[in-house]
Structure 1
Amino acid sequence: MISSTQRPQQTPKATPIWVVIGLAMGPTVALGLARFAYALLLPPMRAGLGWSYAAAGALNTANAAGYLVGALAAAAFGRRFGDKRVFAVSLLLTALAVGASGLTAEFSRQLALRFGAGFTGALAFVAGAGLTAAAAHGGARSRAPTILGLYFAGGGLGITASALAVPPLLAAFGWRGGWLALGGLSLLATIIAWAALGRAPRTASAAGKHGHGSWSVRFMVPKLLAYGLFGAGYIAYMTFIIAYLRSAEQFSGFEISAFWAVLGIAAILAAFAWGPVLGRLKGGWGTTATVGVVTLGAAMPLIYGGIAGAFLSAILFGGSFLAVVAAVSSFGRRVAPPHAWTAVIGALTVAFGIGQSIGPVLSGMLSDGSGGVATGLWVSVAILAVACVVAATQPEPRERS
C-alpha cells in the first residue's frame, strides 16, 4: 500500500484540441477578419470614396494603433478581470466594430471603428494567447510550438473565410456588404470561441500571481526589435498586395479570391508543418527561419510577375507569417515563468504593434509616388530582411528548474 507521501503527482490532463481550435477563433476575428480582410475591401473603398493610397493605408494604421494600445493594456486587464472574461467580451466588441464599418462612409468614423477593432482585437488576441500557452504546458518539446501555431493559424482561417465570402458580395452590394459579411462571420466565430472557454485552463496569472518580475526586457531586445520590424514589413504586404495584383497584374475577381484563399489555407497548414521545426531551433533562429521565408514570399510577386509568382508568394508568405508569431510566442514561454506568460506575450505584441502602426502609412505614402504600389512592397521586403538578421542575434534563455 502506498502512503499519501509516496503517491506520485498526477500529470494534468492535456487540453483537448477542439478547445484550442475554439480559442483560435480569437486570431480568426482579431487578425483574419478584422485586419487582413481589409485588403479585399481597400480597392473598392479607395475607388468609391476617392481615397489616396496614404489615406487607405491610414485605416490599417489606425487599426494597428488601437492594437498597440490594447496590447499595452492587455496584461493589466487580464489581471483585473481574468483572461477568460477579457477574451470573451473583447471578441464580441471586435465583431461588432467590424460589422459597423459597413454602416458609414465618413472617414473619421471609419478611423474610429478601425482603432476600436484594433484595441479590442489586441485584448482578445493576447488573452487568448495566454490561455493557449497554458493549454500547451507539458508534453514533448514540439507540443508548445504546435499548439501555439494552431492558435495563430486561426488568422489563416479568417483569411480563407473572407476569400470565400467577401468577393462575391462586392459586385452586388459593394464594400458595405463586404464589411457586414465580415461582421457576421466574426459573430459566428465569437460564439464558437465562447463554447470552448469552459474547458480552457486558467492562466497562472488568473490563479493569483502577477505577471511581473522573473524575466528581463533587456535580454529580449533583439527579439522585440525583430518582431517590431516584422510587424512593419508584413502588414504593408497584407494591406497592399491585393491592390498591387489588381492594378499591376490585372488579376480578375476570381483570381484574387483564389490567391487570398491559398494564402489562408497555407497559414492553416503551417501550424502543423512548423511546430516540430520550431521545437528544435534555439534562441532567435526560429524567428529567423520563419521571417526568412516570409521575406522570400513577399518578394515573389515583384520578381516573378503573373499567376505563378503570385501563388508562390501566397504559399510561402501564407505558410510562414503566422508561424513567426508562434515562434516568438514560444520563445516568450521559455523566457518567463508561467505566471508571466500573458505579460511577456503582451510586451512582444506591443513591439509588434509599433511596427504595424508605421508599416501601412509608410508603404501607402511611397505607393502614391511614381513607382506605384510596387515601391511600397519593395520597402516591406527590405524591412523584413533586416528583421531576419536582427532575430539571429537573440540568445537562448537558460533552462529553468
Structure 2
Amino acid sequence: MYSGPHATALASARSALPSLWPAFALCLSMAVANGLGRFAYALLLPAMREDLLWNYAQAGWLNTANALGYVLGAASAYALLHRVSARRLFQVGLGLCLFTLAATGASGALPWLSSQRALNGIGAAWVSACGSTLVLLHYRHAPTRRGAATGLFFGGAGIGIVAAGLAVAPLLALRGPSAWPQAWMALGAVGLLASLWPLRLAGQVQEAAATAEADRSGPLPLRHLGACLAAYFCWAGGYIIYLTFIFAWLREHGLSWQSGVAVWSVLGIAILGSGLLWRRALAHWPGAYTLSVCCAISLLGTLAPLLGSTSSLFISAAVFGSSVFIAAAAIAVLVRQNLPAARIGRAMALFNLAFAAGQAIGPVAAGAIADRIGLDGALWLSAALHLAAVLLPWTARAPRHAA
C-alpha cells in the first residue's frame, strides 16, 4: 500500500472530484423514460398481440407511434430551448412520461394506445435531451468525471429494463395476456418511485447563464457533425428493432418466460454497467471514434442470436447491453468536445431529432419484414443499420477541441 506525500496527494485529488451521485439520480429519469416508457413494451408486446389479435406490423406500429412522439418531442425541444430552461423542460417531460405509463392500459383501442405511446415519446425526448444537458452542465468543470457521468446517465435505462422485467413478466405469466392493462399500471407505479429523486435534483442544477438565453450564434456546424448525425439515425433504427422484437423472437423459439426474464435482466444489468466499462473511452476518445466502436460491438450482439443457438441470447444480451447506450453517451461527448456550453442543449435536441426519426422508421419496417419472412428478417435489418452506423463516423469525423 502506498504511503507518504504521493499517496496523500492522490487521495486529496480523488476527494476533490465531484460525486457521481447526481449523475445516478438523473439516470433514474432514463430508467423511467427509456427503460419503462419505451423498452418495457417489448415485454408486453406478445401479450397485447395475443389479447388484441394484432399482427406484427400492428404491434410494431405502437413503437413507431412512440417514436413519432419522440420526433415531435425532439423537434419541440429544439425550438423550446430558445425560451425554456433545460431543467424546466426536463421536469415537464418526466411528468408526462409518468402519466402516460399509467394511462396506457386504460383502453385497448388502437387510437388510445397510439396517442399515449406518442405522448410518452414526447416526454422521453425532453427527458433525454434536457437530462443529458443537465449532466454535461453539472460536470462541465470536471472533465475527468464527465465521461463516467454521461455514461451513467444513459445507462440508467438498464435500471428500468430490469425493474420492468421483474414487474411485468411474472404478472403476465401468472394472470395471462389479458393482464396487460395491469402491467402498464405496475410500470406507472415503479416509475413514480424512480422519479422522485431526479425531479428534486433537477431543480438544484445550476445552468450556465448562457444556456438560459436564446442561442443566437448561428447554425450548428453540420459540415463536421453531419456524418455522426446520419450514423445516429441508423443506430436508432437498428437498436430499437432489436429491443422491440427480441422478446417476441425468444418466445417464438420456445424459451420459457423465466428464461425471458433472465435474458431481459442480463440486458438491463449490462446497460447499467456500460458507463463504467466505457468510462475511459468517454473521457479520452473523440466522440466520433467512440460512436463507431460501440456500434460495432452492438452489431456483434445483434448477430449473436442469428448465427448461434437460442442459448446465445444471453451472450447477445450481455454484448448488446454493454455497448448500445454508449452511442448516446458518445454523441453527448461529441457535442461537448465541439461546441460551447451555450449551444449544448439545442445540439443535443438536434441529435435527438435524428435519433427519433430513425427509431420511428425501424419498428414498423421490421414488423412488415417479420410478417413476410419471420422475426429473423427483422433482426437482420437491425444488423444492417448497425453496420451503417459503424462506418459513417469514419467518413467525416469532427475535429476535437474543448468547449
Same fold (TM over 0.5): yes
**1:195 is the counterpart of 2:200:** yes
Aligned partners of 1:281, 1:398: CA distance in 2, in Å?
A: 9
RMSD of aligned alpha carbons: 1.7
The runs of 5 or more residues in structure 2 that have no matched partner are: 1-15
Change (3 A) 1:99 1:203: farther
Equivalent of 1:148, from 147, 150, 153? 150
Q: Could you tell me how far 1:213 is from its partner in structure 2?
A: 2.8
Equivalent of 1:305, from 288, 298, 309? 309
Match of 1:112 in 2: 115
Count of aligned residue pairs for this structure pair: 385
1:67/1:118 contact within 8 Å kept: yes
The letter for the 2-side match of 1:146 is A
Aligned partners of 1:364, 1:207: CA distance in 2, in Å?
A: 42
| 3-state secondary structure, aligned to 2:213 | coil
The runs of 5 or more residues in structure 1 that have no matched partner are: 1-12
2:106/2:181 contact within 8 Å kept: yes
**1:268 is the counterpart of 2:276:** no
Change (3 A) 1:73 1:203: farther
Aligned 1:9-158 pairs, distance under 5 A: 16-140=19-143, 142-158=144-160
Aligned 1:147-186 pairs, distance under 5 A: 147-173=149-175, 174-186=179-191
TM-score where L is the length of structure 2? 0.92
188-197 or 30-39, which moves further after superposition?
A: 188-197
Structure number with higher helix proportion: 2
Aligned partners of 1:211, 1:94: CA distance in 2, in Å?
A: 31
Aligned partners of 1:239, 1:303: CA distance in 2, in Å?
A: 19
**1:295 is the counterpart of 2:304:** no
| 3-state secondary structure, aligned to 2:395 | coil
Aligned partners of 1:88, 1:352: CA distance in 2, in Å?
A: 21
Aligned partners of 1:398, 1:284: CA distance in 2, in Å?
A: 9
1:93/1:117 contact within 8 Å kept: yes
Equivalent of 1:240, from 245, 253, 256? 245
Match of 2:360 in 1: 357
Q: Could you tell me how far 1:199 is from its partner in structure 2?
A: 3.2
2:17/2:145 contact within 8 Å kept: no
The letter for the 2-side match of 1:194 is L
Match of 1:8 in 2: none
Equivalent of 1:373, from 369, 372, 375? 375
- Per-residue deviation, residues 166-204 of structure 1 (Å, max 9, x unmatched): 111113442112111111111112212122224323145
Match of 1:278 in 2: 282
Match of 1:346 in 2: 349
2:295/2:323 contact within 8 Å kept: yes
- Per-residue deviation, residues 349-377 of structure 1 (Å, max 9, x unmatched): 111111001000000000001x2111111
Q: Could you tell me how far 1:86 is from its partner in structure 2?
A: 1.2
Change (3 A) 1:14 1:81: farther
**What's the % identity of the aligned pairs?**
35
Match of 1:391 in 2: 393
Aligned partners of 2:26, 2:217: CA distance in 1, in Å?
A: 25
The letter for the 1-side match of 2:111 is S
Q: Could you tell me how far 1:165 is from its partner in structure 2?
A: 1.1
1:83/1:203 contact within 8 Å kept: no
Q: Could you tell me how far 1:398 is from its partner in structure 2?
A: 4.7
Aligned partners of 1:259, 1:155: CA distance in 2, in Å?
A: 15
| 3-state secondary structure, aligned to 1:386 | helix
| 3-state secondary structure, aligned to 1:384 | helix
Change (3 A) 1:31 1:367: same
253-262 or 71-80, which moves further after superposition?
A: 71-80
